Chains A and B, each alone.
Chain A
Amino acid sequence: MTTTTPVSGPHTHAPGGVTTQMGWVILALLPATAFGVYLFGWPALNLLLITVLAAIAFEVISLRIAKRPVTPFLMDGSALLTGLLLALTLPPWAPWWIAVLGAGFAIVVGKHVFGGLGQNLFNPAMLARVALLVSFPLEMTTWVTPQPMFAEGSPGFIEGLAITFGLAAIPDAMTGATVLGETQTGFSRDLGLSETLPGVYDPMQQALGFIPASMGEGSALLLLAGGLVLMARRIISWEIPVAMLGTLAGLATIFMLIDPERFAGPGLHLISGGAMLAAFFIATDPVTSPSTMRGRLIFGAGCGLLIYVIRTWGGYPEGIAFAIILMNGLAPLIDHYLRPRTYGRTRGGKPLEPKASAPAAPVTEKRP
């Protein structure tokens, strides 16, 4: 019963660990993923598998090079999660090399260059997405209209492989644009929202995901459900999603009231693009978000603000990845300046003034 080096307390621990947390996040993403795969068919499944496997392969290689134990770090599931998140933000019929390049960038440059798990400053999946978007704008904006698996007209297994590996071109008839893309194109042609939206935007279809979108971003409702499960299980904190979606919706409402022709309403902003995915699964990445409650509120609000600004006035139709990276950059500052108040000190760190207690009438008990 002797221990050679003394270990300090506590000598007990709450249940759960990193692996459990990552596991829950992956689990919460599964419904939306499965739905995305169903909706976009075999090419989407191929792309998903390629991305995830490539992420894991790059993780193993990086760990080997860094001479770190492979098994415990692979088992924590963070590489799997990064791969999954990246796949969910890619156009579902993107070619295989996009997936491999993205996974490599995310795992190697986004994570292992910084020292692996917990050391990265930016969200790896979002970094990869931005890098791909900037480098390969055409491939990264070729969206397809939903072609459910096994449905008539949608590609079968072999055709799916051909699309993923670039042997067959995507038929023009199947391509489409996202709502956010349509509105931006509309503005460039001096068309107001009342002219562009009908025909491309149906709130119900949009929320359910029957729209041209990336594999996992489409189904806002499934993502919302998964996020709520994570919140209920305290895997993610409530501050970031609430602040982010709240800011986004608030800004959208205000500007919509100013000019409904120019500015889309909160509904469209919340259920289109990657807002849900980002709010619940990406911005809440613990490594790259602040660690205090107030910090998270500001972080979430900042994400919401930047997303709205880039979507509304920026050159890109969707600004989530940029917004997340920019706020990731601000996270250390937020943590530095917004520390919680220490017991017995003011917010500034000075000791509290001792409160003069009321002069007491001493109780003296005298009993024989």
Chain B
Amino acid sequence: MLSFLFKRRAFQGGVHPEDRKQATSHLPIQTLPLPERLYVPVQQHIGAAAQPRVQTGQKVLKGEMIATGSGPVSAAVHAPTSGTVVAVEPHPAPHPSGLPVQTIVIEPDGDDRWVDEPEPEHALNLEPEVIAQRVAEAGVVGMGGATFPAAIKLNLGSRHTIDTLVINGSECEPYLTCDDRLMRERTQEVIDGVRIMRHALGARHTLIVLEDNKPEALAALQEHLYEMDHLEAISVPTRYPMGSEKHMIKAVTGREIPAGKLGADIGVIVHNVGTAYAVHRAVRMRRPLVSRIVTVGGGAVQRPANLQVPLGTRVEELLAYCGGTRETPARLLMGGPMMGQIMPHAQVPVVKGTNGVIALTAAEINIDDPMPCIRCGRCVAACPCGLMPLEMASRIRSEDMDGAAAYGLMDCVACGSCSYVCPSHIPLVQYFQHAKGVLADRREQQRRQEELKELAQQRRARQEAEAKAKAEAAARKKAEREAKKRAQQAKAKEKPAPAKDNEKAEA
């Protein structure tokens, strides 16, 4: 009975939101029919936007690269189906602001024809660098929602010693079941992707980690992993935010990533199961990332589903396929309800990081008007990062951003546990996002000021140099003139006549 006293906690804090996965966890993945238009943004990842390399009117095949990655942190974009490029223009991005982003609009021709049929490769014979290169060419990013280009994280094995590769199948957000279904239906492909990644990283141990609310997926994995060395699937207690990289590492290895470092610095790398599947497609099958699995759910959706969706499909098409909405959703989200982003409207496309499209009713949201903080400390107890959200928020409210930073604002992972438990319904996460934005602006402004200072100094130096040169020139001229004058005077003493000519010449 007292066992709860002795149970080692996976990580401090955390919350237990109702998981609400029952609506879709039993539904197999369905393929969404091709829509009439696909809106493929060039920026679907963290880092620099990709550069479009197709023109309006150009025909493209499925899997053809339509935008190339630019810079060290970027990812290529491929045509999700065969068809014609009808425009390359700004369209609303899947982002709370709804601001436009450069988008390649494709009209499918209905054939869905692949670019070519490459030979499947013996992926485990490839050098790690080649694997990373293949993954980069396929435009694979972190599929759990973070969308960090996956190739960069697969290359870390060359510079760091990686002892543990953790495959994150926790899917700790409520409603979402796309990873669950993926692991259950495409178990072998996922495991193959995991093995390719392990090979690329040279990791000694590999763990596929699931929360204990997905017993079927765990069983499926364990069946296929039977007798595989150093590769096992384990379950961890269901607790949000288990899926956060920092907390997953803490939960399965007991280690913590030091502040300001990466998982690779302590020898652990975390990849999502969806990424493993995409890596399998990219390296084994030589197919780029052109579609993904999306959970359509939430109380406002008529028939929730797990769908395989071509990237660039607008959210409204998904909702329509699921029978539309029962009622006007109070909030339309991309991603889960804890860390997902609110969408301004349904005319935004599904991108590489879209793991769910959730239409919530007001009752599911259950957020009232905020009341003043009563300092109950629940946010402190819930914070998985060991911060004091109430102190940070009160400082941000009185515009003391540095004070908030001193309380550890930059260590916040914005998981939302604090807002979730706050009895006063204070939007703590938004306070933190706001403050992080203000601080980022300040850093940006500071950087600009430094640059401008440099420019101003250069200008002053130049002006001074110019003035000096001028002064010197003037002095020289003057000296010359004097010299001439003296010479003339000397001459004039001898021969006073030609003085007039000289004066003219000088003028």
Contact = CB atoms under 8 A, between A and B. Distances in A.
A10 to B, nearest CB: 3
Nearest to A290: B377
Interface string A354-368: 110111111111111
Interface residues of A, number: 62
Contact of B377 (A6, A9, A16, A291): A291
B258 A12 contact: no
Given A13-B365, A14-B421, A366 B430 contact: no
B259 A351 contact: yes
A6 B328 CA distance: 17
Nearest to A331: B375
**Residues of B contacting A: mostly:** loop
Interface in A3-33: 3, 6-18, 20-21
Interface string B318-338: 000000000011011100011
B258 A344 contact: yes
A339 interface: yes
Interface residues of B, number: 92
Contacts of B340: 9, 11
Interface string B336-367: 01111110111000000000000110001111
A2 B345 contact: yes
Contacts of A339: 388, 407
A76 B329 CA distance: 29
A293 interface: yes
Contacts of A8: 96, 342, 427, 429-430, 433
Interface string B362-389: 0011111101111111001101111110
B265 interface: yes
B375 A287 contact: yes
Nearest to B327: A1
Nearest to B157: A362
Contacts of B422: 13
B159 to A, nearest CB: 14
B174 A9 contact: no
Interface in A259-289: 286-289
Interface string B226-269: 00011000000000000000110010000111111100011110
A364 B199 contact: yes
Interface in A327-358: 335, 339-345, 349, 351-355, 357-358
B266 A354 contact: yes
B345 A1 contact: yes
B374 A118 contact: yes
B425 interface: yes
Contacts of B374: 18, 117-118, 286-287
A353 B258 contact: yes
B209 interface: no
Contacts of A340: 12, 380, 383, 386-388
B411 A344 contact: yes
Given A6-B96, A16-B423, A21-B423, A352 B365 contact: no
Nearest to A364: B199
B371 A76 contact: yes
8 tightest A-B contacts by CB?
Answer: A357-B267, A291-B377, A362-B202, A10-B416, A6-B96, A8-B430, A286-B376, A360-B204
17 contacts: A9-B341, A9-B429, A11-B340, A16-B423, A76-B371, A118-B373, A118-B424, A286-B376, A288-B375, A296-B377, A340-B383, A340-B387, A353-B258, A357-B268, A360-B267, A362-B157, A362-B204
Interface of A: 1-3, 6-18, 20-21, 72-73, 76, 115-119, 237, 286-293, 296, 335, 339-345, 349, 351-355, 357-368
